[in-house]
Amino acid sequence: MNYLNEMIRRNTRDMLRHNWGKAVALTVTVMAVLLLGSMLESAIGGLTGTYGLGTLLTIYRSSLSALTPARLAASTALTLSVGLVELLLLGPLLLGISEWLTGLSYGICENDMGSVFRHYRSPSRFFRAVWLYLNIAVRSWLYTTLLLLPGSLMIGASELFNRGNPSSLDRIMAVMGMAMGVCLLILGGITAWIFTRRYSLAPYLVIRQDSLTARQAIRESIQATRGFKTGYAWFQFSFIGWALLCALTAGIGYLWLCPYQETAQASFYRQICWERSNRQPNPG
């Protein structure tokens, strides 16, 4: 598997050798849309006093009990609304970028950037792209929340032992509960990361079969990644070293890392399709 991952990365660098400028430009476009959404959320917060959910939790991090349900609901609604706007802008673009990068992995579309924006030109393709990424996001969030819930509840329960005037036994129980909760959170996070890889191939399947609906693509992605989820998750995690190095460059390095990782994932998708086709029994 390590040899395969290294081979895919080496081939990816070869494919991007003459296309780094275009790939970086597309990454800048995606980041610009995300920055625009963040600025929009901040502007609305400054005008109305209703901040996004992340900002609100940061402000009240030391006194969450002071949060009123109305303020929490308003912040959640604002964050979801801005997220929906970003999804409408980015969904078709992300699918188009995946299509262009997949073309690179097959040695085509090097000079044709039309595929990047083609999902904006058709209402059916536009809303399919939005619905696809919305489905993936909601499903991934739901399963991740469920898998992180036991650890979160354990940590919350351990805090009960420190209330009031805790005894030595209460402190010991709190420390044990906190340790178990952290272990459960780590285990749940790893499991969620591997489990949600089952949706990762849906965009590439839509690209390959233009007649697929979002639901059909997700269903086929679940089937296609059966037996490959752990390998695919490890392949994606293998970029963590590059991500840490990019963090040291104030994030500038991500302009190169993102297209590099996305193109490598398109190549990994090709590898999965090839291995699954070789597993199919010969009708003869």
Report, as an integer, the average pLDDT of 257-283: 73
Stronger pLDDT, 92 or 275, i.e. the higher one: 92
User: Hey, what are 119's tokens?
Assistant: 């999902």
Task: Give 228-232's long-range contacts (Cβ < 8 A, gap of 24+).
Answer: 228/272, 228/275, 229/194, 229/195, 229/197, 229/198, 230/194, 231/1, 232/197, 232/200, 232/268, 232/272
Q: Among 257, 255, 256, 203, which Cα is nearest to 225's?
A: 203
Report, as an integer, the average pLDDT of 124-147: 94
pLDDT above 80: residue 1: no
Q: What is the pLDDT of residue 281?
A: 47
Where residue 20 falls among pLDDT bands split at 50, 70, 90? Answer: confident
Q: What is the pLDDT of residue 65?
A: 64
- Residues 193-251: tens digit of each pLDDT: 999 989 988 998 898 888 889 999 999 999 888 877 888 888 888 888 888 888 888 77
- Residues 28-74: tens digit of each pLDDT: 999 999 999 889 888 888 888 888 877 777 777 766 666 778 888 88
Q: What is the pLDDT of residue 134?
A: 94
Q: Count the Cβ atoms, other than its own, within 10 Å of residue 141.
A: 12
What span, in angstroms and rounded, lies between the C-alpha atoms of 278 and 271? Answer: 11
Q: Among 47, 69, 49, 67, which Cα is nearest to 58's?
A: 67
The three state secondary structure string of 51-90 is CCHHHHHHHCCCCHHHCCHHHHHHHHHHHHHHHHHHHHHH
